[in-house]
Amino acid sequence: VDGKHDPSSILILGCGNSRLGEDILHHYLDMQETNLLSAAPKIIQCDISTNVVNSMTKRYQKYIDKNMMSIIQDDATNFTILNDFSMDAVVDKGLLDALFCTDREDLIQDVFSNVHRTLKVGKVFMFFSLSRPEYLLKHTRKNKDESSAFERNDIVWSEVDVRELNSIFMYRFKKGEVVGTHRIPPPLHGVKQQLKRGRKKFHSR
């Protein structure tokens, strides 16, 4: 997941009935078979819907029995099951877009806060969105002061990358570690400036 260590757990937010978790699992199983990976990570699929959880549990029972996958019912804006510093990666491909369309930016901020809490330091939250960075990124922070765009005293993202993939954007947030109270957060204006130049990759440190 971070290119240096084999991941042990990957969380899929708002999984719905998607096969994304299964595809990720098979990707790592293929790597394991070719000795590129010592062990495939456990895929933890999360959704708030009871019907979805029941359906996905039935579909993936064979992986659940082998402890390769878990299907859990939880709220991404307020996790009650997942422990702090327990995930090697968190992935989303639609939940944040759905929340963005509701104009409930507080819920987007809650998702970021919960994801940050469950990620191990140095690990990554990656999500895919149809929303452009200049509109979406400002909704990921609780402090409206741009100098604190990606950081509070208890939440630090050490790297923020945005890449344009055809008609969708891939966002990658790497969890940092608070050291004292004077860290310099990645500047939001840096992302905006690169967008104006029409580049396919946007990177903020």
Task: For 142-196, write each residue's pLDDT tens digit.
Answer: 554 444 444 454 578 999 999 999 889 999 999 987 654 444 344 443 344 344 3
Q: What is the pLDDT of residue 38?
A: 85
Better-predicted residue by pLDDT, 196 or 64: 64
Helices (H) and strands (E) in the chain, counts: 7, 8
Q: Kindly provide the residue ranges of all beta strands, DSSP E only, lying in the chain, ordered along the sequence.
A: 9-12, 42-47, 69-73, 87-92, 119-129, 157-165, 168-175, 201-204
* Average pLDDT in the chain: 82
Average pLDDT over residues 123-129: 96
Better-predicted residue by pLDDT, 13 or 188: 13
pLDDT in tens, 88-123: 999 999 999 999 888 788 899 999 999 999 999 999
Q: Which residue has the tokens 């702090």?
A: 84
pTM for this entry: 0.81
Q: Which residue has the tokens 């719905």?
A: 16
What's 80-94 look like in SS3? CCCCCCCEEEEEECC
Checking if the pLDDT of 9 tops 70, the result is yes
Query: 10 Å Cβ neighbour count for 162?
Result: 22
Checking if the pLDDT of 199 tops 80, the result is no
Average pLDDT over residues 37-43: 91
Average pLDDT over residues 38-67: 96
Checking if the pLDDT of 17 tops 60, the result is yes
